[in-house]
Chains A and B, each alone.
Chain A
């Protein structure tokens, strides 16, 4: 691997800036290029063709194309573990100063690669090799897979977090034009004239498409050179306020209802130091379009002959791109091999650029006389019908052997080996139908084109120009103008179509004249012929014929069996050739073989762009309560509950989490505790049928709840399983305030609305979420009444007159509050609801005024502990969607008579079993031992073989400071009938922990015994 020995830069032309030299490195060599170069054009200007090695055989791979179609010229950009970019096409990487590129898939180096043994062993690595070898015995594959994955593969993924910014942009337009070549440009103009919103996206940095791949004077449009015409049109579009032109933007996905994904490489072309930190690296545009015009051009196919994969073998059209777009001659002595007239222009242009033409080999029996005459006039040697049958040269092609075709699919005599360092090949152009097909359009095979082209649209789109199989420039422009005008009319912005420019060609204008040549004959026996179809995945014509012989006759099966077109290039240059080779092997017309499914993305899209700005701190909302600042200032530890950040505990300095929870719990029982309960779901329920509605959605009875009273309710789903619980207060006969669990708030409201709208539209009830209207502080403990009396302006908190499960309105310092006498903990409690704007003030006031009463803020962990001491359930912790109210021992909350959601399910035989897992208390024999939550409960002290029956599991487990011992809740099979029995909690080390089954209200049981347990 050596830098080029002579410059290949042409003296004039190109979209490069000769005054701005750019220094870059490739494979450790420092090289020069020019601003405007791609990495590929700069490498070719330095005489470097080989950029990497292939996926399977590690064969040298060079640059085949000049754009996104290139299959195997893949490089790794940069070495930084956070920003390195794998698998970039050298043909698309725009050069910047300091760019560092490395070849891929080579170890230890590009020139010396140990993986090349795969190439020597290629006879033993046929299609389906891995499948055949390793799928028979799964174990062997498991062992070998990591080795294979390391040996194969492409670039190296970054290992550190991506520091770059990305963003999504949503946009709607009337007409989206994909492709900024001549057809796309004039289609956009035709569509935009009447004021329609038009977006034009171009994959490369420049509008103009393949006009840049011709000598500038080779064609004129209305008397203007190609470049002048493009500039004028671009300026016109830029001046239209409703037109957006995006360059470096690739439409990669065409989804339902004209929704397209577009990746805009905003800053990839800039040196990292020149990038604007205020702009993203890439943008993902999500565009909804009224009409889409696909002007995506065509992709040239290589010819499939033995030895067609060496570096130095380029597509004929790509050679013209390097000559004219980048002013680079990719060789000094060239062979042009083709099955059509278009490639002859490459020979003429190379000759014009001073590159010697060693031969033009045309597979056609009789190429156009005008071409032959022109070639003869230039003195170019021509052979036909002829093909290349072999090439030589390891990291760069050195020679080609040309043989005459016998016209019957075989070879005639007279092989001639010619020296060359460039072979320009063309197997014809395939319309780029990827987006059309993603849009569910149907393709048809066009024999005149020897290619598949759009036949029937499914969505509101039109293909124009080369993407539609229209080869002639004038016809393409006419088609584009028509499509643009039609799209404008269809979207309500009609406008007279612009005139189609008059086209004049400088050289010989000859028909395209392609004749199909899918797989060319070889001098070698079939098993030694290496005619590549897919240059990235190393799929040869032989592999495809083998697949057919082994029964993979469907094109989709053959694709998967051989991995044809399954690389990062998605078969852009290999697909249609592969279908042709399959057709030959099946002896059937290629249209009968059909095509494989085109799927997004058209080319790789970074994960960064897919994630957009929704990463890191912006990944997901973390909801905070009105009191959040106070919790944070108090050093709270938070947990996430249904997107909410809830204070889990408030450890003092130097105090551990567990100690804090014990302290907080003790305070709530012995003095005053205060909990931020703002996150509880709250629903305002209003209407004359509100009461009847509640009676249907809760399992317990609601018809007699008087205004001013509260009631706890259980909500079941249709299966009879508990899915939410909470206290609902009756504000007036037709007005209720429901609370739900924090995590269930949104789903409960949606569930209730669904029932009202779909099942019971006759009920006159309105629901509105009021969750965030109220900040809620729950004050509990023996001292709470005194503190409340101190705080409330106009409400007597004395439990005698303000009993449990009632509510009142009042004021604190003049601010209206609703106070509910409900309890999470079993202690004397007051739940203060205050408009959320006063929440932080109230919290601070409570802590300040409560200080004298020994008030302690407690978090959710202490709350869970306190309610577990009373046996109060936590939906989602003590229940898991398989638990009925009966299982919970809450049969008192299941009404008789009136119907409610889930009622019938409770009488199903399975739901009514008496040996279901039931919620019980567990007291470990060792009061210091706290069972692991989730521990499986078993019958005996040791596990039995082969399988120990599981009785159930521990759902909640704590050390209770009040009882001075451990407590646990568990779901145990038939547990309600096993009070006093001992069961065992299994542990990983085999030593099971004995525990006695008890009731769930540990506190009441202890009080009944007259003290601690």
Chain B
């Protein structure tokens, strides 16, 4: 996909930090995010038909196929995560498949961005900011939760876990992305991450 210089991702001003052998942070910009709300059976049929995915039906569950993953959000809400640029096509096909059925399908690809938090120290770093149990017994690869990271709402998705340590994806609101990034860098200080100054630090003095 050609890069479009007109686009800016929420963390375009940040460079990846850290190393993969301890802790590594980077942004996955421009991924497709679609929110689907509706009756689980109706939406389930459409999603299976269009994407070949059996819609997850329980807390923490995800299911994916062909570069699209559905994250369970609530009994009538799912988040579809697609590779960059595919959201329009998926949205169009799902809209067709759901025609005539009460549902809501919203493109949120610009609403959030994704921060990857990977490496053997990723759990310990996230545990400084997230109160949920992140132990592999409580959150396994392929599971996702919605929770709070400090004062920001995030979706935390553990995409893989293994020898190289866990790889998390944090789906964060655009305007909270820098706050979250800087807190994660701070949490990673003990593993060598550099401190990051939030861009929101601007003088508020109106002057004379």
Contacts and interface: CB of A to CB of B under 8 A. Distances in A.
B174 interface: yes
**Interface range on chain B (Cβ under 8 Å from partner):** 35 or more
Contacts of A944: none
A665 B142 CA distance: 53
Contacts of A657: 206-208
A835 B131 contact: no
Given A622-B179, A773-B108, 7 more contacts: A613-B187, A618-B182, A638-B202, A772-B112, A837-B9, A838-B7, A840-B8
A497 interface: no
Contacts of B208: 656-657
B168 interface: no
B91 to A, nearest CB: 13
B103 interface: yes
Given A170-B127, A772-B110, A623 B207 contact: no
B65 interface: no
B178 A768 contact: no
Given A618-B198, A637-B207, A624 B110 contact: no
B112 A628 contact: no
Contacts of B14: none
Nearest to A842: B6
Nearest to A837: B7
B183 interface: yes
20 contacts: A197-B135, A613-B186, A613-B187, A614-B151, A618-B150, A620-B151, A621-B179, A623-B175, A623-B179, A624-B200, A625-B175, A632-B202, A637-B203, A639-B204, A645-B200, A684-B106, A767-B104, A772-B173, A773-B108, A836-B110
Given A613-B128, A613-B183, A638-B204, A770 B111 contact: yes
A644 interface: yes
A36 interface: no
A197 B38 CA distance: 40
Contact of A637 (B30, B111, B138, B206): B206
B206 A648 contact: yes
Given A167-B128, A621-B151, A772-B175, A645 B106 contact: no
Contacts of A772: 110-112, 173-175
A839 B182 CA distance: 23
B13 A629 contact: yes
Contacts of A837: 7-9, 30, 110
B204 A835 contact: no
Query: Top 7 A-B pairs ranked by shortest CB distance?
Result: A622-B200, A623-B175, A766-B104, A836-B110, A172-B133, A621-B179, A686-B104
Contacts of B176: 621, 623
B8 A839 contact: yes
B22 to A, nearest CB: 12
Contacts of B128: 167-170, 613
Nearest to B198: A617
Nearest to A631: B202
B96 interface: no
Interface residues of A, number: 63
Nearest to A619: B151
A663 to B, nearest CB: 15
A893 to B, nearest CB: 28
Nearest to A766: B104
Contact of A278 (B8, B9, B103, B189): B189
Contacts of B199: 624, 628, 632
Contacts of B8: 626, 837-841
Contacts of A348: none
A835 B109 contact: yes
Contacts of A771: 111
Given A639-B204, A840-B8, A687 B104 contact: yes
Interface of B: 6-10, 13, 30, 35, 37-38, 76, 102-104, 106-112, 124, 127-133, 135, 137-138, 150-152, 173-176, 178-179, 182-183, 186-187, 189-190, 192, 197-208
A686 B101 CA distance: 11
A656 B186 contact: no
B110 A278 contact: no
B103 A766 contact: yes
A773 B7 contact: no
A257 interface: no
Given A617-B198, A618-B182, A837-B7, A286 B131 contact: yes
A835 B104 contact: no
Contacts of A769: 111
Given A625-B175, A766-B37, A279 B131 contact: no
Contacts of A629: 13
Interface string A272-299: 0000111100000010100000000000
Select the residue from B38, B138, B174, B201 with max chain A CB neighbours within 10 A. Answer: B174
Nearest to B195: A617
Contacts of A639: 204
Contacts of A589: none
A764 interface: yes
B1 to A, nearest CB: 14
Contacts of B127: 169-171
B102 A622 contact: no
Contacts of A648: 206
A172 B186 contact: no
Nearest to A735: B104
Select the residue from A276, A288, A813, A837 with max chain B CB neighbours within 10 A. Answer: A837
A651 interface: yes
B183 A618 contact: yes
B102 to A, nearest CB: 5
Contacts of A628: 199
Interface string A670-688: 0000000000000010111
A294 B42 CA distance: 53
Contact of B138 (A172, A624, A773, A840): A172
A659 B152 CA distance: 37
